[in-house]
Amino acid sequence: MQTSPPLAARPAGPWTPALVVTLVAAGTILSTSMGVRQSLGLFLEPMARGAGVSAATFGFAMAIQNLAWGVGQPFMGALCDRFGGRIVVVAAAVLYCAGLALTAGGSHPGLYVGGGLLVGIAVAGTSHGVLVGIVSRLAAPAVRATAVSILAAVGSLGTFLVAPAAQALIDGWSWQAALVGLALLAAAMAAVAALFPRAGARGPSPADGPPVGARRAIADALANRTFVITTLAFFACGFQLIFIATHLPNFIGLCGLPPSVGAQAIALIGICNAVGTLGAGWLCQRWGNRNVLALIYLLRTTAIGVFFALPATIESTLIFAAAMGLLWLSVVPPVSGLINGLFGLANFGTLFGVMFLSHQVGAFLGAWLGGLSYQWSGSYATGWISLIVVGTLAALLQLTADSDRDGRLPAG
C-alpha cells in the first residue's frame, strides 16, 4: 500500500511561512505609510485657518515631499538590495515620526523640512520600492505576481482607516493633535519591521539574473527602450495622483461640500484600490504588462475628465473617488512585472527607484503647480486640464513600448 511521505519530507509549497509572515508585515507597513501620507491633504484647510499656511505653501511642501521620495527611492532601494529591508524600514519609521512632529509645530520651515523633506525620505523607505523587493525575493515565480498584487492591495487599506481617523482627530481635538497621533502611528512601523527575514534571506528561486553592481544595472536599464518608455510614462501617474491627493479636499470644499466628504473620498480611494490592484495583477498575466499600464492611464484620465466636466456633488465626488481607487496603485503589478521580466530581482529596488524618480518628479509638479494655479487664478481648472493632457500622452507613449504578451517579459 502506498503511503504519503512524512511531513518533513514533503516539498514546501510556494506559500511558505516565511513568505506569508513577510507579506503580512510588509502589507501592514505599506498600509500605514500610504495611509498617513495620503491623509495629509486633509490638513491644508485647518492649517490655513490655524497657522496661516496658504495653498501654494502647503502644495510646495507636498511637492518637496514627493521629490524627496523620488530622489531617495533609488538609494533606499539600493540599501535594501545590499543590507536587507529591516534596517531600512526601522530608520525610515524614525524619520517619519520626526517629520510629522516637526509639521505639528505649525511653522513654515517645520512644514517644509518635516512634512516635506523628512516624510518624503521616510516614505521612500516604507513604500513599494523597498517592500515589493522584500516580498519578491521570498516568493517563487509561480506566485510572485500574486504576492505583489496582494501587497499593493493591502497597502491601500490604511487610507480607508487613517483618513477618517485623522479627520475625527482634527474635528474633535486639533490638527496638531492629529499630526502627533499620526507620528506615533508611523513610529510603530519600526516594531513591525522586526518580522522581516534577516538580510540575505532568499526565496526558492535563485534565477534572479546575474549579480551586477547598481551602477551597471542602472546603465543597462537606461539603454533598454521599454524601461525608458515606461519610466517616462510613469511621470503622468505621479502628476495625476498627487495633485488629487493634495488638492481634492480643498477643491471640493470650494465647491461647497463639507470637509467630511474629502475624508470619505480619500478613504474610498483606499478601499477600492485593493480591488483594482488585485484585478490589475490578474490582467497582467493575460494581457501583458504594457497593455495594462496603457489601459490604466487611459481609464484614469477619462475619470478625471468626466469629474472635471460635471458639477461637483457629494455623489459625483464619491463615484470619482471609487473610480480613481480602482486605478490608484494598480500600476504596481505591471511596473514590477516589467522590471522583473527585463532584469530579474538582483537589483530590483535600485531599478524601481530609478523608474519611480520619474513618478515623483511628476508628483512634485502636480502638488506644486496645483497650488500655484489656485493661488494665481482662484480656480483649479488649469490643474485639472493639465492632468487630462498628461494622462493622454502617457497612455499613447506606453503603447509604443515593446509588447510582453509573447512571454519575453513575464508578468511575475
pTM: 0.78
pLDDT of 98 higher than 80: yes
- The CATH number assigned to the domain with range 17-200+212-398 reads 1.20.1250.20
Q: Quick one: pLDDT at residue 92? A: 97
Q: Quick one: pLDDT at residue 2? A: 45
Write the CB contacts of 381 (distance below 8 Å, at least 6 apart in sequence): 308, 373
Query: How do residues 51-81 score in pLDDT, each as one tens digit?
Result: 888 888 998 898 899 889 989 999 998 898 8
Residues 208 and 345 sit within 8 Å (Cβ to Cβ): yes
Of the pLDDT bands very low, low, confident and very high (cuts 50, 70, 90), residue 173 is very high
Domain boundaries, the chain: 17-200+212-398
Of the pLDDT bands very low, low, confident and very high (cuts 50, 70, 90), residue 163 is confident
> Which one has a higher pLDDT value, 78 or 213?
78
C-alpha cell at 40: 495629509
Write the CB contacts of 405 (distance below 8 Å, at least 6 apart in sequence): 287, 288, 291
Of the pLDDT bands very low, low, confident and very high (cuts 50, 70, 90), residue 277 is confident
Query: How do residues 359-399 score in pLDDT, each as one tens digit?
Result: 988 988 888 888 888 888 888 999 999 999 999 999 999 99
Helix (H) or strand (E) holding 309: helix 289-309
Indicate the SS3 state at residue 14: coil
Residues 99 and 115 sit within 8 Å (Cβ to Cβ): yes
Q: Quick one: pLDDT at residue 412? A: 37
Average pLDDT over every residue of 396-409: 74
